[in-house]
Amino acid sequence: MLYFILYLFIETFVSVKIASVIGPFWTFVEIVATAVYGMWILKNMHLQLAVTMQALANGEISMEEFESMNLYTAIGAILLIIPGFFTDILGLLLQFGVFSKFIAKKIFKLKSKSREDDDVIDVEIIER
């Protein structure tokens, strides 16, 4: 709940600041344009899948990076559809492969640290 309230605050703050600079007409144009772009990305997601499948086949990326890059492209497209400047900025950043690879590496690094403890089995042997 705290993260959602923080998100609402940031979204409102950024949107009001940018909208006050560019005006209501260009704010409307930006909201509609990014929503259309987000829907176009989701509609043409098969193109992104083909590119990342080729990179996976060539050994340029790992399976985890393949999954996360496609996931972040879809999440970015959904963020573009949601009205607001902050979500649009995040959605656009997630469309770039370098940025999504960076996030994927950070997330999988955190997951691998937490999984190290899961692999340990504590066993007591009692001999009679």
Q: What is the full per-residue pLDDT of the chain (128 aa) written as tens digits?
A: 888 999 999 999 999 999 999 999 999 999 999 999 999 999 999 888 898 889 889 988 888 888 877 888 898 899 999 999 999 998 998 887 677 667 666 666 665 555 555 556 666 677 77
For residue 113, the model assigns a pLDDT of 57
Contact (CB, 8 A) for 19 and 27: yes
Please give the distance of CA 60 from its chain centroid, rounded to a whole number: 20
For residue 111, the model assigns a pLDDT of 59
For residue 123, the model assigns a pLDDT of 67
Any idea which residue has 């083909």 for tokens?
A: 50
104 CB-near residues (< 8 Å, 6+ apart): 64, 65, 68, 69, 72
